[in-house]
A and B are shown apart, each in its own frame.
Chain A
Amino acid sequence: MKTTMTALTLVLTASPLLAGKAEVLTTYADIAQAGYEDSLMKARALNDAVDALLADPSAETLAAARSAWLEARVPYQQTEVYRFGNAIVDDWEGKVNAWPLDEGLIDYVDAAYGGATDENAYADLNVVASSSFTLSGETVDAAQITPALLEETLHEADAVEANVATGYHAIEFLLWGQDLNGTAPGAGERPWSDYAEGQACTNGNCDRRGDYLKAATELLVSDLEWMTAQWAEGGAARDTLMADEDAGIVAMLTGMGSLSYGEQAGERMKLGVMLNDPEEEHDCFSDNTHNSHYYDGLGIRNVYFGEYVRIDGSTVSGESLSSLVAAADPAVDNALRADLNATMIELGQIKAAAEAGFAYDQMLERGNDAGEALILSAVDALVTQTRGIERAVTALGLDQIAFEGSDSLDAPNAVFQ
């Protein structure tokens, strides 16, 4: 009898559920718009801080620019969950947040960095020191370091993804420099005098380094302006999302699941532990990885709970994916909410330890059991929540819909002709 009742309830609630999807998607798009707009405002503040650094290089102005970068990461990381479900974001984000990078492409590096590799012939190109060079057989005039040079010529040069010339991590490298402390405490220690004028300039080419930093920061601002517009009313990202409600909900869940499992749990966290390599931390120059992971996790939670706290403390919220799943299967919703909260506790513990002085790269050291346990328990929590996300997909009946969108099912015989 109970089963019949449940089935009946499902049938009866079928149409209100359909109506709810549009509102859930609106909340999702509103959070995206607010997140990118917050990221844009923080990038503009970073741009101002870079201007101040270049106008009057000093330890203080460099420190202020670093602070602005750290603040800028908080809203941006919360938008990463939008990547995997939305093609328009995924196609764009490489310019803004590509990682890992062979930083020798950009500026001087320590001798231990090594030179070109099997995979990347330009791993030690050092654009800051080279006003002209050969790239994939063509001579490049780099006398002027401009946003166009970075974006059109250097970024992913030679089709190598590790040639990251733009975005947050290129800027991070220019502000902090390489972290040469290995798995010992400490972040990158680039001296402010790397931007000094005349005799005070350290490591050479300070003016070109400053030009690079300025160009990269300007690009970040313009890229974020563009993405913010895509999520506004009438923007391409919002319109695409709203065009097909079921596909939109699938996009939300795909973004959550792909970031949770393959990207964050796997590529960014577990791999670092398995390699014991301090460069395998996401924000490796600044030692900000604990925050990077934390705000990635929070972004996933934001999408499900339909709630985002902006940089001014105000809240964007609305009908949530959680309520949609609860209407279909309360047990699945309860479990997933609990999973997402459990992940935030695990990521919070990493953040707490790191802020108390046990940096993320120290956690990666070979044989560091405490660090490994901290990271792997967060990995486990992310994997667990991924299973919960899959159950939400099933509960909403969306796995079949995703199926029907593929060629193989729409035209099963076509592919064998």
Chain B
Amino acid sequence: MRHLSLVACLAALLAGPATAGTDDALDRHVLPAMETFAEETADLSRTAAAGCGAEALRPAYHAAFDAWMGISHLRFGPLETGGRALAIGFWPDTRGFVARSVNGLLQDADPVVSDPEGFAEVSVAGRGLFALERLLFEGDEVLADDSYACAYIRAVATDLARTGQALQADWSDHAALMRSAGEDGNTVYLSPREAEQALYTALITGLEFTGDQRLGRPLGTFDRPRPTRAEARRSGRSLRNVGLSLEALRGLARSLSDVPIPQTEAAFADALSVAEGLDDPVLADPAGRLKVEILQQRVELVKTAVAAEIGAALGLSTGFNATDGD
């Protein structure tokens, strides 16, 4: 294998500034997904402005959350700036920060909700989709439009829309930066390979996050499953998030590779079909545990296929990522 890797490495060097993968990933995956997120959060904000009825707001919340699954793995550049990823989706929340922040604002009737600039400074645990989930799925079904909770919901929605817009704008700059990798004056990406590596790291890290966190946290251990740790369980989206994140990661994998990736395709198809076969929306059914474990193994196999087929072919390895550490 050593010789093969060396050949792949040399081939990559000889090919010169091979940015096809980066260009494709940006045009076919990153930029459209950012646009969708901006649109859905803008729609959520408009819906909230029209009224706080759960009937209208919950579908808009779900659409925005779906769009978040399309970009949540792109944790570098604009999504890391100013902690935006945390401000959109603060999860996992291992110490109950969301409950504490949301209840704190509600109890104090903190006037910060009527000031968009001030609200942008509020703890990330009191903002974003998980704060909204508490407000829409744990509170009263019917909220008066002049209630504090409604003002809070509107502040969260406005804040999400603002973030969506800023992400889209910043990504058009960041895309240019990635496309000009290796050119004079580009101090972020010193070579085309560094831009590809950033995307590849996002792909591998995203797969690890879905396997270890989205599936692993509620699984816990056989003796001690942890159903209350499932992502977005209050809105019944835990399994849905797994499927959507896998689809998004498949999109990134496809766009990143210049050549067919049959093993990766097969592994994604396999994982997605296991996910579709699960009838356990919040990953809490003890009888379904084995299937969730199988799904977790399938996601691990996707990662293996991606590393062998895309990583090795491009001469890429995973860089350090935001979830290294504890």
Which residues of A pack against B, CB within 8 Å?
Answer: 84, 100, 102, 114, 117-119, 136, 158-159, 161-162, 257-264, 266-267, 270-271, 273-277, 366-367, 383, 386-387, 389-391, 393-394, 399-400, 402-404, 406-410, 412, 415-416
Q: Is the CB of B325 within 8 A of A416?
A: no
In the complex, chain B residues whose CB is within 8 Å of the CB of A391: 190
Q: Is the CB of B304 within 8 A of A386?
A: no
Q: A118-B228, A261-B320 are in contact. Are A400 and B9 (CB under 8 A)?
A: yes
Q: Is the CB of B308 within 8 A of A412?
A: yes
Q: Is the CB of A258 within 8 A of B325?
A: yes
Q: Is the CB of B322 within 8 A of A261?
A: yes
Q: A117-B96, A274-B124, A399-B317 are in contact. Are A410 and B301 (CB under 8 A)?
A: no
In the complex, chain B residues whose CB is within 8 Å of the CB of A412: 308, 312
Q: Which residue of A lies closest to B85 (CB)?
A: A274
Instruction: State which of A136, A366, A409, A416 has its C-beta within 8 Å of the C-beta of B123.
Output: A366
Q: How far is the CA of A389 from the CA of B324 in the complex (A)?
A: 14
Q: Is the CB of B118 within 8 A of A119?
A: no
Instruction: State which of B95, B125, B224 has its C-beta within 8 Å of the C-beta of A119.
Output: B95
Q: Which residue of B lies closest to A262 (CB)?
A: B324
Q: Is the CB of B312 within 8 A of A403?
A: yes
Instruction: State which of A114, A118, A390, A416 has its C-beta within 8 Å of the C-beta of B320.
Output: A390
Q: Summarize B's interface: helix, strand, loop or mixed.
A: helix
Q: Summarize A's interface: helix, strand, loop or mixed.
A: helix
Q: A391-B190, A400-B5, A400-B9 are in contact. Are A158 and B224 (CB under 8 A)?
A: yes
Q: Is the CB of B5 within 8 A of A403?
A: yes
Which of B5, B96, B190 has the most chain A CB atoms closer than 10 A to its own CB? B96
Q: Is the CB of B124 within 8 A of A266?
A: no
Q: Is the CB of A274 within 8 A of B87?
A: yes
Q: Is B29 engaged at the interface, CB distance under 8 Å to the other chain?
A: no
In the complex, chain B residues whose CB is within 8 Å of the CB of A267: 325-326
Q: How far is the CA of A263 from the CA of B321 in the complex (A)?
A: 10
Q: Which residue of B lies closest to A260 (CB)?
A: B320
Q: How far is the CB of B169 from chain A (nearest CB, A)?
A: 20
In the complex, chain A residues whose CB is within 8 Å of the CB of B286: none
Interchain Cβ contacts under 8 Å between A and B, 29 examples: A84-B324, A114-B96, A117-B96, A118-B228, A119-B94, A119-B228, A119-B229, A136-B224, A257-B324, A258-B320, A258-B325, A262-B320, A263-B325, A275-B97, A275-B124, A276-B123, A277-B97, A366-B121, A366-B122, A367-B118, A387-B194, A394-B193, A402-B317, A403-B307, A406-B307, A408-B304, A409-B1, A415-B304, A416-B305
Q: How far is the CB of A37 from chain B (nearest CB, A)?
A: 25
Q: Mark B288-305, 1 if CB is under 8 A from A, else 0.
A: 000000000000010011
The 4 closest A-B pairs by CB, nearest first: A262-B324, A263-B325, A262-B325, A399-B317
Q: Is B221 engaged at the interface, CB distance under 8 Å to the other chain?
A: yes
Q: Is the CB of A271 within 8 A of B86?
A: yes
Q: How far is the CA of A101 from the CA of B121 in the complex (A)?
A: 26
Q: How far is the CA of A262 from the CA of B324 in the complex (A)?
A: 4
In the complex, chain A residues whose CB is within 8 Å of the CB of B221: 159
Q: Is B83 engaged at the interface, CB distance under 8 Å to the other chain?
A: yes
Q: Which residue of B lies closest to A276 (CB)?
A: B123
Q: Is the CB of A386 within 8 A of B320?
A: yes
Q: Is the CB of A389 within 8 A of B320?
A: yes
Q: How far is the CA of A403 from the CA of B12 in the complex (A)?
A: 16
Q: How far is the CA of A404 from the CA of B324 in the complex (A)?
A: 21
